[in-house]
Structure 1
């Protein structure tokens, strides 16, 4: 019996009591069950009697006693006790608890998936680095965390589109192109230009594609050069992300907003909503009506649109594409964007508390990291991947809440010891995978299963932890906190290692294979599956050997 099945059983008992006239309350959609702090108090506990007792005009303990009578008749529940002012401590019978192992194995990759966010249509934008240089350490956290959030949302039933906003408009692209042109001709970096060996690499790529540019003056060469260098740099960004296990559904071009008239259209639409005013020749959006600290200019007095105008057009594009929920993942220096983005949503007629969510991530540092030889003044993501490894980097970045600063120790992350969290979890997967292979080589199979044989205390503990996985995934999705999954996987690994030390899947020496060994193989493989599923949600591999 899973926690979800137990929750449903409690809800059914409440509904039966209402139908029988024993109580008069509104039965909640879900009843929360959780693990008691002490296993002596049972497998699961619920405070539903405390929640509903007063609403039913009953003392919580009397309400609990009514539930005890009904729950005691539910198949799979071994016992129910009332504790304190009305808590219910529930113990499953051995067979019902053990049946979870078969449920997990048969569900396979789908175990942990839930419907908590079914019906939610989400656009999630993250990373969105300027296409004027390689990805660096500042983009690393959102690449790992954003992708993990998207995976967790999908596992909870949401329809998610991950999106990368390419800032390919504005003067920065001209400066970028002039930097490549100057390097191509042996000239100094232009004022405010981009240094680094990657500019030389881009110049070489451009010349291979269009050798005639070497003979052209800057004004003639720049349009073609800018496009070719931009394409090559964006390809490098996509390649680095792929090496990091991050693949976006959409790469959305800012310049397309300008070229397609979306910015002008956004201004017209917002004016029709009544939130635009004109002052000193400029066009303004009255964002202070919705919590911003000042009103924002959309069109300057010289007729040029601001970056904010593109932000507004981009938001409306997301809305027009059918995304009822828009999640923005921004860096630590973007706190000022929260209210202005929410104000855009409100000016567009959306609910700024429901239709848009802005997450701000804190900075990370990596001990001993060196500036990139290619980029000259940054620490490249590609270098971090080569140095630390994509798995260790992704797991470590997803292991902490977004709003907490992180200092990573690469030497620690490369250790094959239990105090390295990613190794600890991956080793548990490899160990369980190997245990299954060894057992099957000795004639232990999953041909039979008797859940009542899983009586060792370590088995009860492991089953209880495994059963929490769907609710952990749902909670991580609703809170946008994939670190909950990482910490949970470490609990699974600990429970598995304890079980592995206390019991045997494979008989010793010449001992015959018994029914308990076949049954334990199911539990072993259930653990393998949960670890693999959880690591997948973090974008981390589940190795078969280590």
Structure 2
């Protein structure tokens, strides 16, 4: 991980903290990292928590703790320590990418599942309204992915609160119709279905499903070139690695907050990172296959797995070709 990669990773943690409501502050344009000062530890340090303390109305140590929690497990970072009044100190680990790709491969479509909510019993009451029903079904799948005992039934006590909207699979197809109801936050109006039928980069559903199909296509093309996926070297794909590493936390947050839209938005992040990365995966022209190509192919395969698993929790298909 380069200092620039680390800076982006820390900035991403700040943005997550703001998006999740843990910090109320404007996200800075960039985050400076440098070698630790006397009293620091690790490879690099940042004073971002100190600079965000006053505008957030929190103590620097509190801000540092919030960011540390969101940096834990980030690819390329072995440890995060807090020193002095709130400096974040980073110890890097060049093996995190391989670990992450291995975890995705071992878990498959269930990467990000956990027992974090084991012992929780959640019962939603029956609903007849289309959007509430589809959101409820997705929330149940998310809760079960985190170990909760969740179901919808006539004796349920908890309610799904959404702005009503019709489910129109006969007009837009089941996938676009579902995405229209699930991608928007429950308190927002559902998305219009028409634009979701257009294969354009402004269409989030298209980007997610297309990115999955590209991952499958890269695997097929790699096989034709005799390239076997296997993560061997770190190769600067920090944005994609970070997005994949975030997936378990996103599933848990989506389950806890009863918000499938959090997962949908995250899948767009994974898709965008993969689509930006895809052109580097296989050899170009007379370039010979190398360990870097095998590693990139393994990472693309992992991204495709995460996209397929996330779409399945939303009840949406992940085609191999578009």
* TM-score normalized with structure 1 length: 0.45
C-alpha displacement at 1:83, in angstroms? Answer: 8.4
Check the 8 A contact 2:115/2:147 in 1, yes or no. Answer: yes
In structure 1, the residue matched to 2:234 is 454
Q: 2:224 aligns with which of 431, 441, 456?
A: 441
Separation of aligned partners in 1, 2:206 and 2:186: 22
Check the 8 A contact 1:454/1:460 in 2, yes or no. Answer: no
Matched, 1:405 2:206: no
Q: Call closer, same or farther: CA 1:516–1:391 in 2, change over 3 Å.
A: same
| Gap regions ≥5 residues in structure 1 | 1-33, 48-58, 130-138, 166-317, 319-325, 327-355, 366-380
Matched, 1:35 2:13: yes
In structure 2, the residue matched to 1:125 is 125
Matched, 1:97 2:87: no
Counting only pairs closer than 5 Å after superposition, residues 74-223 of structure 1 correspond to structure 2 as 77=77, 85-90=85-90, 92-127=92-127, 129=128, 139-163=129-153, 165=154
C-alpha displacement at 1:486, in angstroms? Answer: 0.4
Separation of aligned partners in 2, 1:46 and 1:161: 43
Aligned residues: 271
Separation of aligned partners in 2, 1:45 and 1:403: 36
In structure 1, the residue matched to 2:159 is 358
Q: Call closer, same or farther: CA 1:109–1:102 in 2, change over 3 Å.
A: same
Counting only pairs closer than 5 Å after superposition, residues 486-525 of structure 1 correspond to structure 2 as 486-501=264-279, 503-504=280-281, 506-525=282-301
C-alpha displacement at 1:454, in angstroms? Answer: 2.1
C-alpha displacement at 1:401, in angstroms? Answer: 2.1
Deviations 1:416-437 (A, max 9, x none): 1111111111111111111111
CA RMSD of aligned residues (A): 3.4
In structure 2, the residue matched to 1:430 is 213
Q: Call closer, same or farther: CA 1:43–1:102 in 2, change over 3 Å.
A: farther
C-alpha displacement at 1:439, in angstroms? Answer: 0.8
Q: 2:260 aligns with which of 482, 485, 499?
A: 482
In structure 2, the residue matched to 1:417 is 200
Separation of aligned partners in 1, 2:108 and 2:194: 35
Q: Call closer, same or farther: CA 1:124–1:93 in 2, change over 3 Å.
A: same
Separation of aligned partners in 2, 1:44 and 1:91: 12
* TM-score normalized with structure 2 length: 0.74
C-alpha displacement at 1:529, in angstroms? Answer: 0.7
Separation of aligned partners in 2, 1:126 and 1:46: 47
Q: Call closer, same or farther: CA 1:150–1:46 in 2, change over 3 Å.
A: farther
C-alpha displacement at 1:106, in angstroms? Answer: 1.9
DSSP 3-state at the match of 2:159: strand
| Gap regions ≥5 residues in structure 2 | 1-11, 16-29, 34-43, 50-59
Computing the radius of gyration over CA atoms, which structure comes out larger, 1 or 2?
1
The more displaced of 149-158 and 108-117 is 108-117
Q: Call closer, same or farther: CA 1:39–1:126 in 2, change over 3 Å.
A: farther
Deviations 1:7-35 (A, max 9, x none): xxxxxxxxxxxxxxxxxxxxxxxxxxx72
Separation of aligned partners in 2, 1:43 and 1:99: 24
